[in-house]
Structures are given as C-alpha cells and as structure tokens.
Amino acid sequence: MSAGGRTASVVEPPATRGRPHSSADRLPDGRVVERDVKASASLPSPVCTLTLAWQVFEDAPVAVAANRDESLERESVPPGVYREEPRIVAPRDVEAGGTWIGYNERRVFAGITNRWGTPELAGERSRGLLVADALEASSAREAAAIVDAETESREYDGFYLVVADERDAVCLQWNGVLERTEFEPGVHVVVNAAVDDDVRLPSDRTEIAREQADNARRVRAELAPDRGEGVDGWLERAGGVLGDHEYGVCVHGDGYGTRSSSLIALGERSRYAFAPGPPCETAYEPVDPERNREGHI
C-alpha cells in the first residue's frame, strides 16, 4: 500500500537491464567497481542520483526517482514511519539514525547526495540527520531555512540537498559555504558533481566526475516527459532508466554499490515505491508506512 492507503503498481526490473560485469576498475580513492567489458571503456561512477520532476504533472507536483549508493555493509531500515509528529515517511540509516530521502504529511520532500570536491570539513553531524530536520518543515521554504540555520551553527561533510513542495523546489549546496539553486518547473538531475548543467569537477577525480555529469545529462534528456505522459508512467520509465547500466547510475562495486532505489510522487494521492537493492535486478514494491518499523535491509 502507498502512504495514502492505495495500492501502487509494482515495477519489475526488465530482464534487459541487468548487463554482465566481467572486469573491474579502481577509483582514485581505492574503491573497485566492476565494468561491463561490452560497454565503452568508461568507468561507472559510484554516486547517488536524484531525479526530480517538479511542477510537471498536475496531480503530482513533486515526483522523484533516486538511487542510493553506499557501502554494502551499511545497514538501513526500509521506508516506513520515520517520525510521528509531523508524520514523516522515510528509510532510516542504522549507523547514524538519519535518512537520505523522504517526505512528510505536508507533502514536503527532502533528499540528499554527497558532494565531491569539498575541502576538509569537520563533519560534526550526520548529513542524514539534517535531512530528517528538513522533513519537519511545513514547506520547502521552511526546510531550506532549517538547513541554512544548521550549517551556520554546525559543520557537515559536503552535500547537495533538494527540498521541494508544490510551490518551491530548491537545491542547497554545501562545501563549507551554503549555496542554493532555485529550480524552474521541469526535470532536474542531481549527482555528486553536478546540479543539471552546473558541474563542479573535483581535482582528485576530474575524469570520473566529468563522466558522471555526462551520465546525468543523458538521464535528464531521457526523462523529459513524453506528450500526454502521467506521473505513474514517468515513474515507471524513470525506474527503468535508473536500473539501465547504459546510463551509468546503477553501480556494482567491490563492497560498494547501489543499495536501493526510490520512486516517489507527492500530490492528491501520494505514493512511494521502493526497491531494496539495485534496480537492475530488484523490483519496486509499494511502501506501506505502517509495516516497516523494524527490520534491516
């Protein structure tokens, strides 16, 4: 069941998505990711990918398709009631207690990705707890103000944090200084090195970041809404793109990779479908917020 108590469709992973991996590359930070030898020589980038369709669909002003990439050993609890007041629906990171994506009863969305190329920051507090703070807001504007106040008083590791509701959509960018991008209506893609066409290439992983930004552009182009397309059709198509290795956003590495994927629509009938594994091989199932109060994935 969805958060609104209605049944959402289950998106199956197409058999054509799961392409074989038979060789590996080592990233500058020492992680190893496998590569499809039949693909180009490009390296898949370990990165969270957040795609937002804002004010595109009349019945769902906020629609999100996102992959979470993380250590395979880091545990999390599937989406459920994260907090009762206000009612927040989100997965939970077991290690730090925060979340990386979710929404509240006021239809405010928040989601975060790491930001590459940031200076040495103290990281005094988990970024996932900052997402949870933002989800206490009654509007996206208030959520942005919460993030602004928090970064004034405490230091976090670098991030891109998207907050959105039916009226506003903002990407807050932190690397020791807080910047903000006000989104126009349309489809937007945020990754570790870029917000749409605003690309920030870190000196220690320039080529990987450039490829990641190129992948994000291709995802954005592919997910431009088709004429007459509704939010359900768009989300199903977005789930396919997030699991298609041709787009480089479904990651399979040694001890690291795409751990889960989320499809969220907020509007008159809000719904959430969640894949508790890489979407190339894991079906999206409708989220019942009451069910997943315990249990790790």
Q: Is 101 part of any domain? A: yes
Would you state the pLDDT for residue 123?
86
Q: Is 191 part of any domain? A: yes
Cα gap 109→168, rounded to integer Å? 11
Would you state the pLDDT for residue 291?
64
% the chain with pLDDT above 90: 74
* pLDDT higher than 90, residue 165: yes
Residue 141, domain extent: 23-286
Whose CA is closest to 8, among 297, 274, 292?
Answer: 274
Q: For residue 247, is it left (φ>0), alpha (ψ between -120 and 50) or beta?
A: alpha
Buried b (16+ CB within 10 A) or exposed e, 67-88: bbbbeeeeebbbbbbbbeeeeb
* pLDDT higher than 90, residue 12: no
> Which whole number is the average pLDDT over 153-164?
96
Q: Is 294 part of any domain? A: no
**In the structure, what pLDDT confidence band is assigned to residue 47 with cuts at 50, 70 and 90?**
low
| Mean pLDDT computed over every residue of the chain | 85
Would you state the pLDDT for residue 203?
85
Q: Is 296 part of any domain? A: no
Place of tokens 């920051």: 121
CATH code of residue 128: 3.60.60.10
Would you state the pLDDT for residue 34?
39
Would you state the pLDDT for residue 216?
97
Q: Is 218 part of any domain? A: yes
The residue among 88 and 2 whose pLDDT is bigger is 88
In contact, 98 and 126? CB cutoff 8 Å:
yes
Q: What is the DSSP letter of 242?
A: H
Pairing of strands 76-83, 23-26: unpaired
Would you state the pLDDT for residue 2?
35
* pLDDT higher than 80, residue 152: yes
* Furthest CA-CA distance within the chain: 50
CB atoms within 10 A of CB 243: 26
Would you state the pLDDT for residue 4?
37
Q: Is 76 part of any domain? A: yes
% the chain with pLDDT above 70: 81
Count of domains forming the chain: 1
Max avg pLDDT among 16-30, 92-106, 111-125 = 92-106
**In the structure, what pLDDT confidence band is assigned to residue 122 with cuts at 50, 70 and 90?**
confident
What's the pTM value of the predicted model, to 2 decimals?
A: 0.83
Q: Is 295 part of any domain? A: no
Would you state the pLDDT for residue 276?
97
Cα gap 159→7, rounded to integer Å? 34
Q: Is 116 part of any domain? A: yes
**In the structure, what pLDDT confidence band is assigned to residue 13 with cuts at 50, 70 and 90?**
low
CA–CA distances in Å: residue 115 to residues 15, 54, 98, 156, 178: 32, 22, 17, 11, 12
Whose CA is closest to 187, among 115, 241, 118, 149?
Answer: 241
Positive or negative: CA dihedral 137, 152, 175, 96: negative
